Chains A and B, each alone.
Chain A
Amino acid sequence: MPGVRPPQEAPTSRSDAELIAGLRRIVGNEHCLTRPEDLFAYGCDALTLDAQRPAAIVLPESTEQVASAVALCAYLQRPFVPRGAGTGLSGGAHPTPGAVVISLTRMRRILSIDADDRIAIVQPGVVNADLSAAVAHHGLFYAPDPSSQQVCTIGGNVAENSGGPHTLKYGTTTDHVIALEIVLPSGDVVRVGSDTGFAAGYDLTGVAVGSEGTLGIVTEVTVRLSPIPEAVETLLAIFDDVPSACRLVGRIIESGMVPASLEVIDRRTIEAVEASVYRAGLPQDAGAVLIIELDGAACELQAQLERVRAFAYEEGVRGLEVARDDAERARFWRARKGAFGALGRLAPDLYVHDAVVPRTKLPEILEKICEIGDRHRLRLSNVFHAGDGNLHPNISFDRRDPDELARVIEAGREILELCVAAGGVLTGEHGVGNEKRDYMGLVFDDVDLDAMRRLRDVWNPDGLCNPDKIMPTTRPCMESNPKARGYDAVPID
């Protein structure tokens, strides 16, 4: 296969001691962590499977320090892995053994806010929700709102092209990032994009957003801010089952309305949330709750609200609640955003799946997903961005039980195959990371994958920057790739 390189071996030619001494000189002793406890704690992100230990962790405070650390790694041929808050769900911030983790959490300054042009320039470690809080008094907010927004960093959002419940109307991170400063894997610092949002030449900002830290380390982000809408209405539509909720979603979208968000929470998730600190009084006997948020000009909103109400009754809604005030709205959202964590109550581990299917196929796919869960005797729950067909089937399990773990992985694979066969994709917002790289063959053939590899190799020629992510290490799984049918199957792993 042309252009396909063997996976990079962990380099052993230079000693850890030399590396660590160099890193200490760059960031200072205090910000270079090498105790066994640190290496253990930085072994994984929010996906705890396949944890590894890095050689060291550095916490730089400036672009210069990042560039120097990267240059040192390049010189010593050491792999390095950028990391934000470590809330990633696809293992994107997992270190390869012996890698240097470059944590951006100390680079958390908002560098400038231009309320008139609605632009902010931030360091990558700024926490998503902190940015919105900092610009609220200008009547502005930063639109991408992952459920982890109280914690996750803008740098991590850029790397994952993160979305959130409001992606339906506002788009994902890529729609709100207009320029970046990036430390390339060589240690060079480049600026891509421009503060006007228009730039001549290749759209390198677009290439970097969603590259999962494999093209360099983002050290500055210029984002577009959005005006806080004049009015917001948030409804809870209570249904007996998930398919009915999905049908209402279909009705609303087909009517031409563009709600800010349409989120479905199933019964098992409701129970978990109601048992947690994020309880919001969701009815625990409901089969599903659909959160509908409408925003925009006050004069238009009432009419929309009435239409939604009418559709809801036609689709057999059991109850409809409208948030009385901002406090109640916040409570609904806290419940929705605390859902993943709340599912942690069911078992020691949670596998948060992420796939996208055409919205119209939601009811039938969800039914099949539940079948897969049942067949594998797994506790599966669904909480998802229904408006864009972005599913999150979540599986509660105990990683100490090897048999259950095997069933989780098998069910996960079947769910992905199902979604892909229905015309969907591997991930809506959590990225490929190391979790799904060996499924890339489900949707891309060798030529597609090779094009991606060659793009990566231009900036990351030695493969040192976040290795083992996105691109499959084995040859793609051609068995299930419709484009590649007829070739010999190559087993994964």
Chain B
Amino acid sequence: MDVTSELYEGTLDCVHCGLCLSDCPTYLDTGRETSSPRGRIYLMRGVAEGQIELGPGVADELHLCLGCRACESVCPSGVRYGALLERAREQLVDAGLRKGQGPRLERLLLRSLLARPARLHAFISAIGIVRALRLDRLARRLLPAALANAQALLPPIPPSPLRAPLPSWTPAVGERRGRVALLEGCVMRELYGAVGRATIAVLTRNGFEVVVPEGQACCGALHAHAGDLSFARSLAERNVVAFTEQGGAPYDAVVTHSAGCGAAMKESGGWLPGRSDGLAALTRDICEWLDESGLVAEPGRLELRVCYDDPCHLVHAQGIADAPRRLLSAIPGLELVPHAGASDCCGAAGTWSLGHPEMSARILDAKLDAIEAASPAVLTSGNPGCLMQLRAGVEARGLAIRVAHPIELLAEAYGMAVPGQR
């Protein structure tokens, strides 16, 4: 690493106080300094100062990190850990330390599947067929472990109407309060089409005209987390064009219903300095936007006991904890029950769980214990990775708990029959 680089400068913000240790899932699991935020930052600094080599050990520790950024939420010194991690992982790739089957496969899938809507659609359809033919057990044996895990994590593939593209324009219901653009999201579109539809329904019911701009791309979050910053930059560039340079008058907001996408778009200014600042400033999580602009349509009753679990990239990366809770509480009859460790990572962390299934399971177990103790009817969270992980966990334990995005409950409270999914 270059000692004058941005990355190196960033590591100097850390004063080694250790106050972040207890919030780090990998430190808690292993008890190891090397697997703690402070340890990782120290490794980055050590490499930059030539005290240790940029070798496989550093690579392992930086990839054992979930990127949950819980450490950032508690750091008094203002260390921007997420940005450091992205830069450092890029350097690992540049240094040739991300070789081997796993990383190569990850890069391939991210670049040529996730970011290509048509291919992703075909791929998800293929999984649907495999499952329908009950070939998934066989597939589990034939596929590499990580892919088999991924397959097991996927929720039931929604029926095709839900996987169709979202309408490119939906008018506001009643008095028009503004015009927003929606980032469709790659995983959200294929697996959580109901959430996209619920998002549009709630926005329009509250006076917003919703545009789903053409030419928008995947947000690039997973690519950046994997150290593929150059690809993430190219995706961000496409989104800058789609959301800020076409479509006539500027949007009042660019709304996302996925915490991971929202965090990536808000921080895309770091990827494309100067270029992406406008997009970053416009980006809002759906709960944040509704909370900020206020509900004008009165939600109907939903007699439900509900838990809300914070997605890391909402609470830690975007600092949003109250907005989703306030929105849910605005639904008459809905009882929001707290559970321990709501802001702790669920162990999904994008593609991380696929490479670290055992630690992921232990982290998820703690989460499920807390959920079970609170015994809700619905468990809500606003990010596709979390929804998948939580659903898989709830199912594995045989709990009668529905897993949903908060916006789905709000849509239901408005009496909208969105074909449900667990």
Contacts and interface: CB of A to CB of B under 8 A. Distances in A.
Interface in B31-73: 31-34, 39, 42-43, 46, 51-53, 55, 57-58, 61, 73
Given A41-B34, A42-B33, A87 B42 contact: no
Contacts of A57: 32-33
Contacts of B249: none
Contacts of B43: 37, 40-41
A363 to B, nearest CB: 28
Contacts of B58: 37
Given A36-B53, A59-B31, A276-B77, A338 B15 contact: no
A127 B13 contact: no
A207 B46 CA distance: 38
Interface residues of A, number: 45
A125 B32 CA distance: 12
A421 interface: no
Interface stretch (A65-73, A342-350, A377-385): A342-350
Nearest to A348: B12
B17 interface: yes
A350 B16 CA distance: 9
Contacts of B16: 44, 46, 48
B75 interface: yes
Nearest to A338: B76
Contacts of A343: 15, 77
A30 B30 CA distance: 10
A342 B39 CA distance: 19
B13 A345 contact: yes
Contacts of A38: 32-34, 57
B17 A344 contact: yes
A316 to B, nearest CB: 31
B73 A277 contact: yes
A350 B15 contact: yes
Contact of B77 (A45, A148, A342, A398): A342
A344 B77 CA distance: 5
Given A40-B42, A344-B76, A86 B18 contact: yes
B78 interface: yes
Given A37-B57, A148-B19, A344-B14, A277 B75 contact: yes
Contacts of A108: 31
B404 interface: no
Nearest to A83: B33
Interface residues of B, number: 33
B356 to A, nearest CB: 14
**Dominant SS at the B interface?**
loop
Contact of B76 (A103, A152, A277): A277
Interface in A114-170: 125, 127, 129, 148, 150-152
Contacts of B39: 41
A480 B57 CA distance: 47
Contact of A344 (B15, B31, B46, B51): B15
B52 A36 contact: yes
Contacts of B46: 40
Given A148-B19, A338-B76, A344-B76, A41 B53 contact: no
Most buried by A among B30, B34, B53, B73: B34
B330 interface: no
A85 B21 contact: yes
B52 A341 contact: no
B243 to A, nearest CB: 29
Contacts of B34: 33, 35, 37-38, 41-42
Most buried by B among A85, A129, A273, A343: A85
Given A36-B55, A37-B57, A277-B76, A86 B33 contact: yes
A246 B120 CA distance: 67
B18 A148 contact: yes
Contact of A41 (B17, B30, B33, B76): B33
A340 interface: yes
A261 interface: no
9 contacts: A37-B58, A38-B57, A40-B43, A40-B51, A59-B30, A87-B19, A278-B76, A340-B15, A348-B15
Given A148-B18, A344-B15, A344-B76, 7 more contacts: A37-B57, A40-B43, A41-B39, A85-B18, A277-B74, A342-B76, A350-B17
Interface of B: 12-22, 30-34, 39, 42-43, 46, 51-53, 55, 57-58, 61, 73-78
Interface of A: 33, 35-38, 40-42, 44-46, 48, 57, 59, 85-87, 103, 105-106, 108, 125, 127, 129, 148, 150-152, 273, 275-278, 338-345, 348-350, 398
